[in-house]
Structure 1
Amino acid sequence: MNTANRIKSVTLGGVITIEELVAIARFNATVEFSETYKARVKAARELVEKWTREKRVMYGITTGFGILCDKLISPEETSLLQKNVIEASATSIGEPYTVEQSRAVMVAVLQNLGSGYSGVRLEVLEMYREFLNRGLAPWAPREGSVGYLCTEAHLARTLYGAGKMYYRGQLMDASEALKLAGLKPISLESKEGLSLISGTSSPTALATLALYDMLKASKAADIIGSMTLEVSRGQLPAFDERVSKVRPHRHQAETAANVRRLLSGSPFSASAQGHHLQDPLSLRGIPQLHGAAKKTLDDAKMTLEVELNSCSDNPFVWPDISEPDIISSCNCDASYVGLAMDSSCIAATMLAKMSERRNTHMIDGNMSGYPWFLVKQPGLNCGMMVPQYSQAAILNDMKILSAPATVDSIPTCGNQEDYVSMGYNAAKKAVTVAEKLESVLAYELLSVFAAHQFIEEGVKPGKAAKALLKEMSLHIPALDKDMFFHPYICYLKEFIHSGEILAIAEEAVGELF
């Protein structure tokens, strides 16, 4: 997987990847429009303006919205209609998007409306591009969307100077933020208000951020699981490539290869072979469970990259030279994103449930052969006892969040929208699940670090574990007695989230699958 923080600039106009969206949203890569992007936006806009002048009946342009689509709107009222729909749709409440999430949604909007099938003016899209490049992020509460309209409307209000924005990290009135950034508010014209809030932009954006972190965490799970296997004197025959040849799932074989590579040349692992016949499933089943989870995440990645490079506006413009048309359809439905993220939440939770079991194996003195809770003088000290309580609680949260959102449907819009995908909620909870997976893995890694104090003198871990333990020891003291563990857990979570754990491991043993 490409590292998003290495991408400094992204040009929209062709296919973009989830790494490129994350590069813009999280790492502030600059955004440019290709000449192709500009040309196709202008071509579609010319058609919308022509048909509006001709008083053609077009959903949401010369008609009302939803079940009110039989109400005709005069050409003189088309601009007011677009502002009205933005104002009336900004109904989401609760905690706001982070700056990163707000930026991600804007990128998804630029992809959606810049596809050449939407019909908005280039000037509108240039405003969002300038927001991204000048450090502006609209404030938008994230609760209360079924997949479109509500959160996007809060973002869109800032285009004409309403609402609030973050400017270089500071929250202020949008009008003031625009002024400080050297921008002037714009007015919306025919179709533009509807387009800005239609489509799958917000679920796709949140899903992309979540999936990027889940994919990184799945590799971190291989690394941490291998370190646990090593310190637990795990038996390597379960990872023999012949095992995967008789059950040829690609992701299983790749995970087993990762474990072999991570433990290759480990004196400690070599010395443990033949110590016992068979390990618990949480150790010997790493290729099987991790592999199944990675396949699900990879499937989700393919889905999101299609969605990220699609037009999900409604209605959309078909600028075919011989037969141009405007078509009302349902590409704004978020079922693809929702199902992908419901499945990804389950996959992430499965990675976490195995991590918790491996952790428990290490801290249980009857199973590991180490002192109870990996601490000297257990009884006087609790050691890794209570961190596992927190790990269990977070895993329980993940299990709750793994209940699928997309199986539900509550009709909206006077039953004009008599089915609703709920893909937004699937994507929204995936962001939380991804963060919790990193936390669960951090607790396991803390126990691995604690366990190494009991390794016999002169027995060395493999190259990857050695490099990781060396880095961790710069931030974590010897865990030989009770102390305030919280800052070390937070450090390890960020160690995983940032991808540093993966970078160090791959520096030691080469690129992992």
Structure 2
Amino acid sequence: MKKVVLGHEITLDEFVSIARFGTQVEFSDEYRRRVEKSCQLVNKWIDEERIMYGVNTGFGALSTKIISADQTKVLQRNILLSHATSVGEPLEEESVRAIMLMVLQNLGQGYSGVRLKTLEMYREFLNRGVIPFAPREGSVGYLSVEAHIALVLLGEGKAYVDGELLPSQEALQKVGLEPIELSAKEGLALISGTTSPTAIGALALYDMLQAVMAADIIGAMSLEVLRGTTRAFDDRLMKVRPHPHQKNTATNVRMILEDSVLAKQSINHRLQDALSLRAIPQLHGAAKKTLFDALNTFEIEMNACSDNPVLWPDEVDGGAISGSNCDSSYVGIELDSACIAVTALAKMSERRNYRIINQHLSGFPPFLVQNAGLNSGLMIPQYSQAGLLNDMKLLSTPATVDSIPTCADQEDYVAMGYNSAKKAREIARKLEYILAIELLAIYNAHQFVESNLTPGSASTAVLERIEQSIPKMDEDTYLYPYLEILKEFIHSGEIISVVEEKVGKLL
């Protein structure tokens, strides 16, 4: 994509193209009109001396404290300084970019009263490569991470430019920008909402959706090399249990193996395969349903206003309501569910890999290497899978079931969606590695398959692509670089492109 114009609903693909791949951002005329109209409303109310939460009052439990008109700008600055308390290692560049994009989406709906000038600064940060320093630990759903990012608008805090961490004044100067002063309500608006859990969670969800499609490919290739029967993928079985994603997964496997001599010759090789092979449509399908449910929720949230308070400039006298659209339960619960779903996917991948490397189950040499004993072959990558899978199981404990009251009990319930997003990112990465290890075993197992039992064209294309970077193993070698190559093959979506060139669009 050359650019994405904000002002209409955006998709997850467009969101990731900006956050991860640096696509340029523009504002539509409608976006600008909405923002300017709501800003005019706030200025009018200030002139009328209306009392508005976060505009001329304190925040949270201090909302009963009235702030004089001449102190409104100080109030907005203070909220950023006092709320920038997340700690630890910084968020990755793409996560910070995603959060800034979510702020633009949230406040650009026209219900927040911020100035276009302020949002233009974040747009310039995205387009010019200014990445505010934002520590990743210690948020319950909003405020702290966003405050670190917003400080850079004022020339406070730190930011990366071209990979170099600089005081924000220097960072801005390096890209030709000047700090700004915040106007009424802007400090609160910039840090309120579901912006960070939605942003970080969207990146995780995108990776999970790609990984689950890659898992269909890798699962089909495991079924093929282990001489499993495709009878379990018969469409008649799918029709009597009509879950759409189960049916689509079975269709994907059949498409991938349609021209496989190996699969055709193996259809009666055994009466019934182990569940890690024959239940691919059922488990992968269930995981996909969970992820696509999450996608629907995320694309609503990405195009919504989660500010507090929310303003209505189109009403005759205007209106402002303080509620809780900033609650992160929607994205948090979806992400907790997604973590459980892909951990189940990973446990099946580990079991398939185990079957390939275990000579008693596969018929191949022990751990896919000649002269076993002197060589360990692919014994230890399965240990890595076990360790990764154990981590995933721990991270699958839902964050949203917990609640620790904050703000002198003004926030006596807390959704914890930020932690759901943070662990979803970790789980997505670990899933990619687990699938990469299974793919390495498949690749090496093919050297032991009878030459007349050729794999299908899709499998062949994947194997030939791997062969460009990874030699077949005939003795022990340094495996780490190969695991990273295969993980990137999955993470980038290239494995999906390679297969779809042969069989068409996967479902």
Shorter-chain-normalised TM-score: which range? over 0.9
User: Among residues 278, 282, 307, which one is paired with 2:301 in the alignment?
Assistant: 307
Q: Secondary structure at the match of 1:332?
A: coil
Equivalences for 1:268-417 in 2 at 5 Å? Answer: 268-417=262-411
Query: 1:82-122: per-residue Cα shift (whole Å, max 9, x none)?
Result: 00000000000011111111100000000000000011000
C-alpha separation in 2, matches of 1:19 and 1:270: 37
The one-letter amino acid of 2:210's match is K
C-alpha separation in 1, matches of 2:59 and 2:452: 73
C-alpha separation in 2, matches of 1:169 and 1:103: 14
Q: Is the 8 A contact 2:356 2:441 kept in 1?
A: yes
C-alpha separation in 1, matches of 2:399 and 2:18: 28
User: Among residues 30, 38, 45, which one is paired with 2:39 in the alignment?
Assistant: 45
C-alpha separation in 2, matches of 1:36 and 1:276: 63
Q: Is the 8 A contact 2:231 2:267 kept in 1?
A: no
TM-score, length of structure 2 as denominator length: 0.99
Q: Which runs of 4+ in 1 moved over 6 A?
A: none
Q: Does 1:116 align with 2:110?
A: yes
Query: 1:177-235: per-residue Cα shift (whole Å, max 9, x none)?
Result: 11111111000010000000000000000010000000000000000000000000010
Q: Partner of 1:73 in structure 2?
A: 67
Shift of 1:339: 0.2
Q: Secondary structure at the match of 2:113?
A: coil
Q: Partner of 1:216 in structure 2?
A: 210
Q: Does 1:161 align with 2:144?
A: no
Query: 1:225-263: per-residue Cα shift (whole Å, max 9, x none)?
Result: 000000000101100000110000000000000000000
Q: Is the 8 A contact 1:140 1:151 kept in 2?
A: yes
C-alpha separation in 1, matches of 2:266 and 2:242: 28
Equivalences for 1:37-186 in 2 at 5 Å? Answer: 37-186=31-180
C-alpha separation in 1, matches of 2:282 and 2:472: 34
C-alpha separation in 1, matches of 2:256 and 2:165: 45
Q: Is the 8 A contact 1:376 1:480 kept in 2?
A: yes
Q: Partner of 2:261 in structure 1?
A: 267
Q: Secondary structure at the match of 1:294?
A: helix
**Identity across matched positions, percent:** 59
Q: Secondary structure at the match of 1:142?
A: strand
Q: Does 1:434 align with 2:432?
A: no
Shift of 1:459: 2.2
C-alpha separation in 2, matches of 1:68 and 1:407: 27
The one-letter amino acid of 1:284's match is R
User: Among residues 480, 493, 506, which one is paired with 2:474 in the alignment?
Assistant: 480
Q: Secondary structure at the match of 1:512?
A: coil
C-alpha separation in 1, matches of 2:316 and 2:58: 29
Q: Partner of 2:438 in structure 1?
A: 444
Query: 1:262-292: per-residue Cα shift (whole Å, max 9, x none)?
Result: 0001011111121110000000000000000
C-alpha separation in 2, matches of 1:215 and 1:384: 28
C-alpha separation in 1, matches of 2:489 and 2:332: 29
Shift of 1:173: 1.2
Q: Secondary structure at the match of 1:10?
A: strand
Q: Partner of 2:452 in structure 1?
A: 458
C-alpha separation in 1, matches of 2:109 and 2:90: 28
Q: Does 1:235 align with 2:225?
A: no
Q: Is the 8 A contact 2:211 2:431 kept in 1?
A: yes
For structure 1, list consecutive stretches of 5 or more residues without a partner in the other structure.
Answer: 1-6
More displaced, 172-181 or 215-224? 172-181
Q: Secondary structure at the match of 2:481?
A: helix
Q: Secondary structure at the match of 2:304?
A: coil
Query: 1:312-363: per-residue Cα shift (whole Å, max 9, x none)?
Result: 0000111123241011000000000100100000111011000000001111
User: Among residues 30, 33, 42, which one is paired with 1:36 in the alignment?
Assistant: 30
The one-letter amino acid of 2:394's match is I
Q: Does 1:203 align with 2:197?
A: yes
More displaced, 86-95 or 378-387? 378-387
Q: Partner of 1:3 in structure 2?
A: none
Q: Is the 8 A contact 2:102 2:195 kept in 1?
A: yes
C-alpha separation in 1, matches of 2:270 and 2:297: 43
The one-letter amino acid of 1:510's match is G
C-alpha separation in 2, matches of 1:251 and 1:471: 28
C-alpha separation in 2, matches of 1:377 and 1:295: 44
Shift of 1:169: 2.2
C-alpha separation in 2, matches of 1:8 and 1:261: 33
C-alpha separation in 1, matches of 2:86 and 2:7: 31
Q: Partner of 2:505 in structure 1?
A: 511
Q: Secondary structure at the match of 1:382?
A: coil
Q: Secondary structure at the match of 1:265?
A: coil
C-alpha separation in 1, matches of 2:14 and 2:133: 22
The one-letter amino acid of 1:314's match is N
Q: Is the 8 A contact 1:146 1:421 kept in 2?
A: yes
Q: Is the 8 A contact 1:79 1:188 kept in 2?
A: yes
The one-letter amino acid of 1:488's match is Y
Q: Is the 8 A contact 1:8 1:23 kept in 2?
A: no
The one-letter amino acid of 1:434's match is A
The one-letter amino acid of 1:339's match is I
Q: Partner of 1:256 in structure 2?
A: 250
More displaced, 318-327 or 477-486? 318-327
How many equivalent residue pairs? 507
C-alpha separation in 2, matches of 1:481 and 1:255: 36
The one-letter amino acid of 1:279's match is D
Q: Is the 8 A contact 1:166 1:172 kept in 2?
A: yes
TM-score, length of structure 1 as denominator length: 0.98
RMSD across aligned positions (CA): 0.7
For structure 2, list consecutive stretches of 5 or more residues without a partner in the other structure.
Answer: none
The one-letter amino acid of 1:478's match is K
